[in-house]
């Protein structure tokens, strides 16, 4: 959800003394889902930071789905002296290996036996591309129709699950509603285009855009200016913009409903991060 990401960015900006504004932008009643698009390792760090920030600073229960075990936390989390251990316990890590296991585990969240007194306010799925590539074909050959069908199925299930928990939260803890969804996706690089021709968009991304309402794009700055400056830190550009505002997968795209937010992310050699508003 965009309010979780915005809270995270502003909290890391504040550490540099650039601003003391801790205000969280109130979420739109419709905008409950965000798709983080870009480099897989960078998006995973961003999702982990979002999970910890939501749990420890925003008092949210979080479900974090990923294919691979978390080996280490991003550098900004290494010093967690100011974070409550009880807050970090609100994150539940789940490791489905295939898209079928992901579908099963997400759908099981709504089963009465798995319902806890505290409903989740945030569901995170790390690396959708790992679940969707080659989905629907047991022979391990690429089936685009199977991938697109699975992308729609997963997105729809996440949408329905978030809507279910939003109703639960509105009854039990209105201040923590709605239930948000943040997922990451690394588009496949198009290598079939001849030099000078524009690359074609990833067809899976076209499907995901129909279900997610906000897009957070990550792009590393590899421009001549960045190289010429001789900076030791990595520079990334982050754009947070609305894809749609209406409350359903078939809603019309509305790119003007919410103004885009642009950020610059600096990653220093020691792994620490600093966000700047552009």
pLDDT in tens, 213-228: 999 999 988 775 555 5
For the chain, the maximum distance between any two Cα atoms, rounded to a whole number of angstroms, is: 58
Using only C-alpha atoms, the chain has a radius of gyration, in whole angstroms, of 19
Say what the pLDDT of residue 32 is: 81
Say what the pLDDT of residue 178 is: 92
Percentage with pLDDT > 70 across the chain? 73
Tens of pLDDT, residues 240-272: 887 655 545 544 444 334 456 788 888 888 888
Question: Domains of the chain, with CATH numbers?
Answer: 4-188+201-277 (3.40.50.300)
Q: What is the pTM of this model?
A: 0.83
**Buried-exposed string 5-23: b where 16+ CB fall within 10 A, e elsewhere:** bbbbbbbbbeeeeeeeeee
Give the residue, 150 or 274, on which the prediction is more confident: 150
Q: Which of 17-21, 148-152, 158-162, 173-177 has the lowest mean pLDDT?
A: 17-21
Give the residue, 123 or 242, on which the prediction is more confident: 123
Say what the pLDDT of residue 257 is: 42
Say what the pLDDT of residue 19 is: 44
Residue 196: is its pLDDT beyond 80? no
Sign of CA dihedral 212, 213, 215, 216: negative
Beta-carbon contacts of residue 101 (< 8 Å; ≥ 6 apart)? none
What single-letter DSSP state applies at residue 244?
B
Pairing of strands 62-65, 91-94: parallel
**What are the φ and ψ backbone dihedral angles of 240, each rounded to 5 degrees?**
-110, 110
What single-letter DSSP state applies at residue 223?
-
Q: Which of 208, 229, 182 is nearest to 54 (CA)?
A: 182
């Amino acid at each position: 959800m965009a309010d979780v990401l915005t809270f995270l960015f502003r909290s890391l900006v504040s550490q540099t003394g650039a601003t003391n504004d801790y205000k969280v932008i109130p979420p739109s009643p419709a905008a409950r889902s965000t798709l983080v698009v870009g480099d897989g390792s960078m998006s995973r760090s961003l999702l982990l930071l979002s999970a910890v920030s939501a749990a420890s600073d925003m008092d949210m229960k979080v479900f974090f789905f990923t294919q691979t075990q978390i080996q280490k936390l991003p550098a900004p989390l290494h010093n967690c002296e100011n974070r409550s251990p009880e807050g970090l316990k609100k994150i539940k890590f789940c490791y489905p290996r295939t898209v079928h296991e992901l579908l099963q585990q997400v759908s099981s969240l709504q089963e009465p036996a798995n319902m806890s007194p505290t409903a989740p306010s945030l569901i995170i799925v790390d690396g959708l591309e790992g679940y969707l590539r080659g989905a629907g074909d047991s022979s391990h050959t690429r089936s685009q129709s199977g991938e697109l069908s699975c992308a729609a199925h997963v997105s729809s299930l996440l949408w329905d699950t978030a809507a279910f928990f939003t109703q639960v939260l509105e009854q039990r803890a209105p201040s923590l509603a709605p239930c948000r969804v943040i997922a990451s996706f690394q588009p496949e690089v198009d290598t079939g285009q001849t030099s000078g021709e524009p690359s074609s968009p990833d067809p899976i991304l076209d499907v995901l855009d129909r279900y997610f309402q906000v897009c957070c794009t990550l792009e590393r700055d590899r421009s001549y200016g960045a190289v010429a400056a001789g900076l030791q830190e990595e520079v990334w550009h982050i754009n947070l913009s609305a894809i749609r505002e209406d409350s359903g997968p078939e809603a019309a795209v509305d790119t003007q409903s919410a103004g885009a937010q642009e950020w610059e992310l600096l990653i220093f050699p020691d792994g620490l991060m600093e966000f700047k508003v552009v």
